[in-house]
Amino acid sequence: MSTLPVVGITMGDPAGVGPEIILKSLNTKEVYQQCRPIVIGDARILDRAQQFVNTNLEIITIEDIGEAAYEAGKVYCLDMNLVPADLPIGQVSAEAGHAAFEFLRKAIELANEGKIDAICTAPLNKEALHKGGHIYPGHTEILAELTNTNDFSMMLSAPNLKVIHVTTHVGIIDAVKMINPERVYKVIKLADETLKKAGYTNPKIAVCGINPHAGENGLFGYGEEEEKVIPGVEKAALEGINVVGPLPADTLFFRTVRGDFDIVVAMYHDQGHGPVKVLGLDAGVNITVGLPIIRTSVDHGTAFDIAGKGIADEKSLQEAIRQAIELAPKRA
């Protein structure tokens, strides 16, 4: 009996680059030496994608996880059979959005049942997701709802930089309204717990301000740092967490890459995503922390403009699989 973790890879939006980067990532023996990968999606779409990426993998359709043999050169697909074989490539559609939701729902079900050890997600398209009748901002919120998780956050991990978010997929005005001391405290605590599980003995956590120069003692903004951020930082520090802030975001990310801190707590989506993506779209991995299951993801979208051309870079998915393997609970 193999002790390698079973990693469920969801196809994401089948009209995007997900099928292509999955095939490219599984076209190596190394991944099968580190885990037992299973694709949750549509076998016909995978087979169609082979012509774009010039792979000659054997796509094996299964109806149950127990049927997979996890042999290199073969891709085992738990086939949901939700979209037509001629689904238009690179286009938003309700069918594809619904399928992406169902692929993820099935993966969560399998993880909750202990049949897979981690979930690694290819990208979905939010417009298609909504057209398919699933009104969520993205993967993270679906995972939280279907696992009954209240305290969670998005963490981006790239070489020399980790970022965790207080708010994510909301407009900037709504983000500022949503920031409060308790949420700041909970995200700091999630950062501390996550890094300690990953082997950091005393993680150094730095918290961004909301305004330029972190408000500069009231010079910018209307006291948001004093009202919304500082009490949360102080509460975490009183519990012994190694945290400082709020600090000016314009220099904090440089300092973190330099090695001054282990992770940055960003206040809103673009404050945290921008610096990570400057390091390269293929470098970042999205990890949802606070869930009862392990979930990693590429940190890029469906790339409809290049879908079907075979040029999508698989490095982010490969890194997401690697981190899923690293974080997955070890089997006896």
In a domain, 283, yes or no: no
Domain presence at residue 285: no
In a domain, 31, yes or no: yes
Angle between helices 139-146 and 94-112 (to 10 degrees): 40
pLDDT in tens, 144-179: 999 999 888 888 888 789 999 999 888 999 999 999
Tell me: do 179 and 269 sit in the same domain: yes
Which residues form the domain of 130? Answer: 1-150+290-332
Query: Do 255 and 169 have their domain in common?
Result: yes
Let me know whether 6 and 144 are in one domain.
Answer: yes
DSSP 224-292: HIIIIIHHHHHHHHHTT--EEEEE-HHHHHHHHHHTS-SEEEESSHHHHHHHHHHT-TTT-EEEEESSS
Same domain? 321 vs 249 = no
Q: Do 53 and 202 share a domain, yes or no?
A: no
Residue 3, in any domain of the structure: yes
CATH number for the domain harbouring residue 89: 3.40.718.10
Q: Are residues 2 and 146 in the same domain?
A: yes
Classify residue 92 by burial, with Cβ atoms within 10 Å: 0-12, 13-18, 19+. Answer: buried
Per the domain annotation, does 233 fall within a domain?
yes
pLDDT at 249: 94
Q: Is 76 helix (H, G, I), strand (E, B) or coil?
A: strand
Q: Based on the structure, what is the number of domains in the chain?
A: 2
* Residue 284: inside a domain: no
Q: With 0.75 as the threshold, say if the pTM is over it.
A: yes
177/224 Cα distance (integer angstroms): 10
pLDDT digits (tens, 9 = 90+) for 233-288: 999 999 999 999 999 999 999 999 999 999 999 999 999 989 988 876 666 788 88
* CA distances from residue 131 to 84, 136, 170, 305 in whole angstroms, order as listed: 17, 11, 19, 19
Mean pLDDT, the chain, whole residue set: 91
Show the tokens assigned to 72. Answer: 């290199």
How many residues are given for the chain?
Answer: 332
Do 235 and 324 have their domain in common?
no
